[in-house]
Chain A
Amino acid sequence: MKEISVAFLLNGNKTSVTSLPNRTLLDVLRTDLGFTGAKDACGGEGECGACTVILNGKPVNSCMIFIGQVEGTQITTIEGLLEKGEYHRLQKAFVETGAVQCGFCTPGAILTAKALLDENPHPTDQEIREGLSGNLCRCTGYNKMIDAIHLAELGGLDD
């Protein structure tokens, strides 16, 4: 099995990795690049969303993407949400509403929420439930996440 070189934009930075091709984006992020915000909770089946990152503006399960597939793409992980040390409005909102309990699903949920709001700035509860349906949470029952996403809508939170 030959190693491959992959170049992509990671949290705005040009990044290049050399890796065996049968490794997933999740594995490379966590092991090679030290970004442990994305988690494995279902064994790489795409059933839980804890590994969610944003790829070219869309939320995706990084556990189901081979590293070669991210060539030339733009990827945002949860670590990329802090801007100059400032929390993103979604991060603030999740903390504010009590949407964070054990926190294991939180990075994935926040990124899914970000992608949702970027595309649909004023979603209904149903649209939020639809958008979050790929992010499993066992702690919160999702109610406060929905509150957080509404709070984070433009104009909903004092920056």
Chain B
Amino acid sequence: MQEFNYYRPVTITELKENLSQPGTRILAGGTDIVPKMRQGKFSASILVDTSGVQAMRFIEDQGNEIVLGALTTHQEAADSALLKNINPALVMAVESIGCQQTRCRGTLGGNIANASPAADTIPPLLIFDATLLLQSLSGDRRIPLEKFLLGPGETDLQEGEFIHSISFKPMFGLWGSAFIKVGKRSGMAVSIVNIAVAVELNDKGKISDIRIALGSVAPTVIRCRKIEQSLIGKEPKPALMKEIQDACQEEISPITDIRSTEEYRDHAAAVIIHRALETAVDQAKGKTR
């Protein structure tokens, strides 16, 4: 196991001070970092354990924005009635991660910072254009989640910074969403491909807003913005589906790895795009009645 010195801040102020030291890295739930340290894939001269910073565990409805503390555990997110209502895709995603034991430790911030292209929490946040509040001793900054993710395991997190919270603006009106994950096994499943979508219909039943985020098919989770734009104003018909699938497949670049093949991921992505959109549109239409 890697050697390190250990800090355990309790307040955000202490956290900022601790992280301002060189060679520090953040520990949240530990479900990614502890195994990685044991395998020699992660090291730090000083490990700053944030798991005691209660001030960063919260789920708040701030009117037109939902704010999630970065240290909110996946289980806490899964249990949130507010999130079930306002971002059910996120709830489905956190419920699907790992197992009871890892959900009780893994955090929203940790999952984002780990930046796996297969991360399940990221698509449901990306479809709502989530932004992150990054803090450090030298100040705060906001960054869209989409810009924060740079590559597999790579983020824009600078030295001394930590993710304080994640915010997103929910949809209102006639909207629906969906989250689908394809794994190799039902229990403790790592995504081979996953998707979150959100669709909003206008009172004429046409698409007024549509967001599609795909995971495990590119170096980061991606939004299919090109096709999203072109769908505004259109009627959500089955005929549209092929166009959407083809367009999304242009934007993805799945690979073959130990878990699956490029061809299967490509194929599965098309399938779950169809299913997720169908579900989301049905939900949106359901709201008219």
Q: Which residues of A contact B6 (CB under 8 A)?
A: 2, 4, 21-22, 66, 68
A-B contacts counted at CB < 8 A amount to: 96
Q: Which residues of B contact A22 (CB under 8 A)?
A: 1-4, 6, 37
Whether the pair B101, A46 counts as a contact (CB closer than 8 A) is yes
Q: Report the nearest A residue to B73, measured CB to CB.
A: A58
Within the complex, what minimum Cβ distance (angstroms) separates A90 from chain B? 15
A30 beta carbon closer than 8 Å to chain B: no
Whether the pair B34, A49 counts as a contact (CB closer than 8 A) is no
In B45-72, the 8 Å CB interface with A consists of: 47, 49, 51-52
Contact pick for A66, options B27, B101, B104, B188, CB 8 Å = B27
Whether the pair A112, B105 counts as a contact (CB closer than 8 A) is no
A55 to B75: give the CA distance in the assembly, Å. Answer: 14
Contact pick for B34, options A20, A64, A130, A135, CB 8 Å = A64
Interface of B is mostly: loop
Whether the pair A65, B5 counts as a contact (CB closer than 8 A) is no
Whether the pair B100, A133 counts as a contact (CB closer than 8 A) is yes
1/0 per residue, CB under 8 A from A, across B85-118: the answer is 0000000000000111110110000000000000
A37 beta carbon closer than 8 Å to chain B: no
A60 beta carbon closer than 8 Å to chain B: yes
Number of interface residues of A (CB under 8 A): 37
B267 beta carbon closer than 8 Å to chain A: no
A79 beta carbon closer than 8 Å to chain B: no
Whether the pair A71, B34 counts as a contact (CB closer than 8 A) is no
A106 beta carbon closer than 8 Å to chain B: no
Number of interface residues of B (CB under 8 A): 29
B8 beta carbon closer than 8 Å to chain A: yes
A76 to B99: give the CA distance in the assembly, Å. Answer: 19
Whether the pair A72, B52 counts as a contact (CB closer than 8 A) is yes
Whether the pair B35, A46 counts as a contact (CB closer than 8 A) is yes
Q: Which residues of B contact A134 (CB under 8 A)?
A: 98-102, 187-188
Within the complex, what minimum Cβ distance (angstroms) separates A119 from chain B? 10
11 A-B residue contacts at CB 8 Å? A1-B5, A22-B1, A22-B3, A49-B99, A49-B101, A59-B101, A61-B31, A63-B34, A64-B102, A66-B47, A134-B101
- Where the two chains meet, the residues of A that have a C-beta atom closer than 8 Å to any C-beta of B are 1-2, 4, 20-24, 43-47, 49, 52, 55, 58-61, 63-66, 68-69, 71-72, 112, 115-116, 129-131, 133-135
Given A21-B5, A49-B99, 11 extra CB contacts under 8 A? A21-B6, A22-B1, A23-B1, A46-B102, A49-B101, A59-B104, A66-B34, A68-B49, A69-B52, A134-B100, A134-B187
